[in-house]
Amino acid sequence: MFDSLLIPNRGEIAVRLVRACRDLGVRSIVGCSEADRDGMAARLADDTFCLGPAAPHLSYTCVPAILYACAKTGAQAVHPGYGFLAEDPAFARAVSEAGVTFVGPDPAHLELFNDKTAAREALAEAGVPILPGSPATALQPREAHRLADALGYPVAVKATIGGGGRGVTCVDTPDRLVEALDSARSTAGRLFNDHRVYLEKYLPGARHIEVQIVADVHGHVYCLAERDCTVQRRHQKIIEESPAAWLTEAERSRLCDDTSRAARRVGLRSATTFEFLVDAARRWYFIEANPRLQVEHTVTEEVCGLDLVTTMIQEADGSCVAPLLAGRRTRGHAIQVRILAEDPHQGWRPSAGLVTHWHVPAGPGIRVDTHVTAGVRVSPRYDSLLAKVIVWGSDRETARRRLSRALGEFTCSGLPTNIEVLRAVVDGAPFREDRHNLDTALPSIPPTR
C-alpha cells in the first residue's frame, strides 16, 4: 500500500477521503485553496498544501499546482473525489506520467465516458439498450429539426461533455428547439469548454436508476446494489436510495447483467456508475456513465456493508477486489438527501453567508457526512452542498420514517437551505408510496413575496 495520498478537493468529500486514509493507515494530504485552509478537511488531515487562491481555476483545477503539491509533499497517490478534475482524462494522465498513482479509472476510460455520444456507441456495441438519440454533435437548426421530428417530441438537448445534469434542456415543441440548442451550447462552452451537443429522446414519467460497478485490473467485475435517483431538481439529484424497491428480482438481475457485460467489454477498473432511464413499460435505456466516486455512493455502502472509498484506494494499489466484494449481499434500505445552500423560494438560487447555528440529527441508522460547523462561512465560489443525511432501515418505510425524523431535527441558521422541501418530498404521498417519477418528484415551490 502506498503510504501517502493527496486529496485536491474540499467540502464533505475531502473529509470523507481523509477519514478513509486514517482507516487504512495512509498519510492524508489535503490540497486546498486559500479559502479552505481552516476547513474541517484541512484540520483533520495529516498534512495540508495550499494549491492557490480561492478561485477554482487557480487551485482545485490547476493541474500544475496539484502536481507541484505531489512533488513537494511526497504524495504517492492522488484521489480526486468528485467534481473539479475527477473525470478529466488529461489530469489522470498527467498524474500517472509524474509517477503518482491516480485513484480511479484509467485515463482511456475517463476519455471514453467523458464523451456521452462515444459512451452511447460503446454500450450499444455491448448490447445494452440505449435511449434513442442523435449521433451528431455539431447540430445545425435544420438538421436538429429533422432529428427531433424523427425522435418525436419531447426531446432533450444535452452537452456532449460534462455531467451533473448541467447543459441539459428539454424541449416540448419545435418552436423552442433552436433556443434550446443555443442555451445548451452556451452552458456547455462555459462549463466544459466544449460547445458540442446532441439530442436524446425525453421519456415523460420516467424513473432514473443507476448501477454501481467496482472492477479491478485482474478482470474481476462486481455489480453492487442499484440506486434510485429519481428525485431531482433541474436534472440534478437531491434524493437517492438503494435498492430500487419497485424493481423485481428478475429485472434487477437483467439490469446487472447488462451493466456487467458493458464493464467487461470496455475493460473497466475501479469504481464507475452506469445510469439509466426506465420508462412506464419498465424498459431501461442507458444514458451515461460516471467513472468516479458518486455523491450518492453512501447508500450503496449502507446496504452492502462496505467502504467504497477504501476499496477504490486498495484497488488502485493493485489489490484484488474479489476478497472484498465476492458473495456480498444487500440488507435493508438506505436513503440519502443532499442538504444544499440554496433558496427554493428564489428559483433555487445558491445562497452564501455565515452559518450561525448548526445541529445535525443523530440516533440509530443515521449518518451525516458534512464539513460544516457553526461559524463556518459558506462561499459562493463553490458547490452548494452542505451535508448529506444518510439513513438505513430494515425496509424502505422504516428508512423513510427515520429520514423524516432526521430532517425534522436538522437545523441550519444563517442562510437558506432546501431542508423544508426535502421533508415535504419525503413525507408526501408520491415518495411515501414509491410512485414518483422525474416529472412529479418535487412539489411546486411558491416564490417568496
Which residue of the set 292, 338, 367, 396 is catalytic? 292
| Cβ contacts of 109 within 8 Å, gap of 6 or more | 266, 267, 268, 269, 272, 291
C-alpha cell read off for 375: 461559524
Active site annotation includes 93:
no
Residues 6+ apart with CB under 8 A from 321: 214, 215, 216, 220, 222, 311, 314, 315
User: Alpha helix (H) ranges present in 169-248?
Assistant: 177-192
**How many secondary structure helices (H) and strands (E) does the chain include?**
15, 22
DSSP codes joined into one string, 236-262 = EEEEEEES-TTS-HHHHHHHHHHHHHH
Closest CA to 14 of 1, 29, 25: 29
Q: Can you list the alpha helix ranges (DSSP code H) found in 53-115? A: 63-73, 89-97, 107-114
Residue 379 per-residue DSSP state:
P
Residue 204 in contact with residue 172, Cβ under 8 Å?
no
Q: Cell for 111?
A: 476519455
Strands 4-7, 27-33: pairing kind: parallel
Backbone angles phi, psi at 21, to 5 degrees: -60, -45
Give the number of other CB atoms < 10 A from CB of residue 291: 28
Q: How many residues does the chain have?
A: 449
> CA separation (Å) from 360 to 36, 238, 300, 351, 375?
22, 18, 22, 19, 14
Q: What are phi and psi of 367, to 5 degrees?
A: -130, 135
d(CA 12, CA 41): 8
Q: Which residue, among 285, 120, 270, has the nearest Cα to 202 in the 3D structure? A: 285
- Known catalytic residues are 292
